Structure 1
Amino acid sequence: MSTSPAGPIGVFDSGYGGLTVFKEIAKALPDYDYIYLGDNARAPYGVRSFDTVYEYTLQCVEALFKMNCSLVILACNTASAKALRSIQQRDLPRRPELRRVLGVIRPTTELLGELSQSGHVGIFATQGTVNSQSYVIETQKFFPGVQVHQEACPMWVPLVENREHQSPGADYFVKRHVEALLQQSPRIDTILLGCTHYPLLMDKIRAYTPAHIRLVPQGEIVARSLADYLQRHPEIEHLCTRGGRREFFTTEKPEDFNSRAATFLGQPVEARYLHL
């Protein structure tokens, strides 16, 4: 295997939602350099086929590799569900240099069963993630006794991306899906926000969810998992440069990305255009 050049940690998402994961990663591991890439021109991925999501995700991963990212985090549940395994098993072994791609589903499911007392966990996710059954399959590997109840919320991402998530109109769609999920089992005591956009709807979700039910966003879990991964894999860690630099790229107009990304990060962003 040839020597890999050191470079930033790459963080990829189909749009803006991965910024909620990136925010927690950068907070937990501030010394590293990062490149965030949002494929906003082709978002959302949640409604696309497995083959299309795989094709788009691989293109974006390859773009990050070309920018010397030896480690790429798919901060996107749909890409993690539909593309990660193929990239890990089919594409990475063909590369002459050391490269690693990680997702957000496995670190979440490794912890999910420990958070539930009843053994009944709910998942809010995109239609694509629900259809993939990835959360059900992965949770069963770690916690065979835990029952996973899923609810697809197709309107939630558009509400967030169009900055309507705090509007009164959003309440209808949040209440509807909360009630639909809870109807699947009265024993649900933990609900995972299985899409990186959903933390921006946290206040509304909380308002329609009984107080005893724990709501779990992914960002902090993924950040802790990444810190652990880097500690256990020094051969990857030494390829990740440290300088505290942050770069942002988008496949759409940077001006659009900058204005919306600030909603997710809570601070101004200056992105550059990337042509794929």
Structure 2
Amino acid sequence: MPENHPIGIFDSGIGGLTVFRSIAEQLPGYDYVYLGDNSRAPYGNRSFNTIHQYTWECVQWLFKQGCPLVILACNTASAKALRTIQQKDMKALDASKRVLGVIRPTAEVIGDFSSTKNIGVLGTVGTVRSESYPIEIQKFFPELKVYQQACPLWVPLVESGEYEKPGSDYFIQEYLDQLMAQSPDIDTILLACTHYPLLQHKIKAHLPDNINVIAQGDIVAKSLADYLQRHPELEQKLSKTGKREFYTTTDDTAEFDHHASRFFAAPVKSSFVSVTEFSCK
């Protein structure tokens, strides 16, 4: 095994960098490897089997980089691939390796933000259709009512950089209106896509002041810190030099770096990795 044992962070593109940013801020001493599968993004509208295949390929690549722990910083991958990876695929590998997602940590605390016990969830088509959030939230807060709204145009708006322009407000308002029409008692809205924090200021501007808008980055980072504290056998394996590496499956690394720097709130310099290097064997 390589002496370097970083934490792997995976996303279908660049959205997971909002989660990585929070993790790196709260746990700055660890080494990290980020992989964005940009050449095959977006995952949101793909089939279950395709999402699982792509996600598992990327997880295995991160394992080969020496990562004993991989975080799926992608709601779609967490919703549609994580369970199969944990319960089936991992059985053939080193039992000490771990793959974690972003849905369960969020479900464990989201009810604490609501007074009315009415929660809204904004996500991709794939995440919403999976019903993962209502299922997981009910395990921890059975009294909560969960309303979902898919926002298929938001990721393209963010990735194209058009979200800052006035025209994006129409599409933001449209999906918020559809969500709020489901219940006037919603007082907490979860941004269940890692792209959406870049829209958070605009989303808040289109909502009453009493509605909480919750991004996942800090929640996932705190959950990871707690997980490492509870699993010292894993934590002690992790290398701690503060090194951060970025990889993307698009050969236009300059374009990736340009957009990624906005998500990560710091300069990003990435390297290209071809999907031909991936294998599900």
Query: TM-score, with normalisation over the residues of structure 2?
Result: 0.96
Any conservation in 1 of the 2:245–2:270 contact (CA below 8 Å)? yes
2:42, 2:94 → 1: CA distance? 32
1:114, 1:200 → 2: CA distance? 23
Alignment of 1:1-276 (within 5 A): 7-252=5-250, 253-276=252-275
2:117, 2:3 → 1: CA distance? 45
Deviation at 1:4, TM superposition (A): 8.7
2:159, 2:42 → 1: CA distance? 10
2:2, 2:257 → 1: CA distance? 31
Residues 143-186 of structure 1 show CA distances to partners (whole Å, capped at 9, x for unaligned) of: 11101000000000000000011111110000001111011001
Divergent runs of 4+, >6 A: none
2:2, 2:102 → 1: CA distance? 24
Residues 2-39 of structure 1 show CA distances to partners (whole Å, capped at 9, x for unaligned) of: x8965000000000100000000000000000000000
Deviation at 1:193, TM superposition (A): 0.3
2:265, 2:227 → 1: CA distance? 27
Any conservation in 1 of the 2:82–2:99 contact (CA below 8 Å)? yes
Any conservation in 1 of the 2:123–2:149 contact (CA below 8 Å)? yes
1:96, 1:221 → 2: CA distance? 28
Deviation at 1:61, TM superposition (A): 0.2
Give ranges in structure 1 of 5+ residues lacking alignment. none
2:83, 2:148 → 1: CA distance? 21
Any conservation in 2 of the 1:7–1:239 contact (CA below 8 Å)? yes
SS in structure 1 opposite 2:164?
coil
Deviation at 1:97, TM superposition (A): 4.8
Query: What percent identity do the matched residue pairs reach?
Result: 57
SS in structure 1 opposite 2:158?
helix
Q: How many pairs are equivalent?
A: 274
**After the TM superposition, which of the residue ranges 3-12 and 222-231 deviates more from structure 2?**
3-12
SS in structure 1 opposite 2:162?
coil
SS in structure 1 opposite 2:137?
helix
Deviation at 1:240, TM superposition (A): 1.1
Residues 203-253 of structure 1 show CA distances to partners (whole Å, capped at 9, x for unaligned) of: 110111111000000000000000000000111111211000000000002
Q: Which amino acid aligns with 1:261?
A: A
Any conservation in 2 of the 1:4–1:239 contact (CA below 8 Å)? no
Q: Which amino acid aligns with 2:265?
A: G
Any conservation in 1 of the 2:21–2:265 contact (CA below 8 Å)? no
Query: TM-score, with normalisation over the residues of structure 1?
Result: 0.97
2:237, 2:228 → 1: CA distance? 10
Any conservation in 1 of the 2:155–2:196 contact (CA below 8 Å)? yes
1:4, 1:119 → 2: CA distance? 48
2:270, 2:248 → 1: CA distance? 7
Q: Which amino acid aligns with 1:102?
A: L
Q: Which amino acid aligns with 1:244?
A: G
CA RMSD of aligned residues (A): 1.1
1:218, 1:179 → 2: CA distance? 22
Q: Which amino acid aligns with 2:244?
A: R
2:168, 2:100 → 1: CA distance? 32
SS in structure 2 opposite 1:46?
coil
SS in structure 1 opposite 2:109?
helix
Residues 121-151 of structure 1 show CA distances to partners (whole Å, capped at 9, x for unaligned) of: 0001000000000000000111111010000
